[in-house]
Amino acid sequence: NAGVTQTPKFQVLKTGQSMTLQCAQDMNHEYMSWYRQDPGMGLRLIHYSVGAGITDQGEVPNGYNVSRSTTEDFPLRLLSAAPSQTSVYFCASTVDFSTDTQYFGPGTRLTVL
């Protein structure tokens, strides 16, 4: 049981490049979410999903796309990276978004030059 896995662990991009951050969970959780963590700002919700085929925006969705084709996977896409997207990205999954424990992946540290 691997829990929540994220790849890559580190990534450096140039402005304008695109990339996909991968997230997978093996706990059969319906709810999955993406957060970004910036110094002094805590974690902010980017996008979330309540099940396969269903996604919605969080607090800071601009510049990011998501899709949920399977229960296990929830990739985050940056279509045209900007320096403001330099951050640490965490994926999480849970049985119930409001009341249950969220299980976090180890994070992806992204730098956009």
Partner 1 sequence: AQSVTQLDSQVPVFEEAPVELRCNYSSSVSVYLFWYVQYPNQGLQLLLKYLSGSTLVESINGFEAEFNKSQTSFHLRKPSVHISDTAEYFCAVSPYNFNKFYFGSGTKLNVKP
* Residues engaged in binding partner 1 (CB under 8 A): 4, 31, 33, 35, 40-45, 48, 50, 56, 58-59, 90, 92, 97-99, 101-102, 104-107
Indicate the residue among 57 and 80 with the shorter CB distance to partner 1. Answer: 57
Quick check: helix, strand or coil at residue 85? helix
Indicate the residue among 2 and 14 with the shorter CB distance to partner 1. Answer: 2
Q: What are phi and psi of 83, to 5 degrees?
A: -55, -30
- Report the greatest alpha carbon distance in the chain: 39
Q: Please, what is the minimum distance in Å from the beta carbon of residue 82 to partner 1? A: 23
Indicate the residue among 3 and 16 with the shorter CB distance to partner 1. Answer: 3
Where are the strands (E) in 1-113, listed by range? 4-7, 10-13, 19-25, 31-38, 42-51, 54-57, 64-66, 76-78, 87-94, 103-104, 108-112
Indicate the residue among 17 and 67 with the shorter CB distance to partner 1. Answer: 67
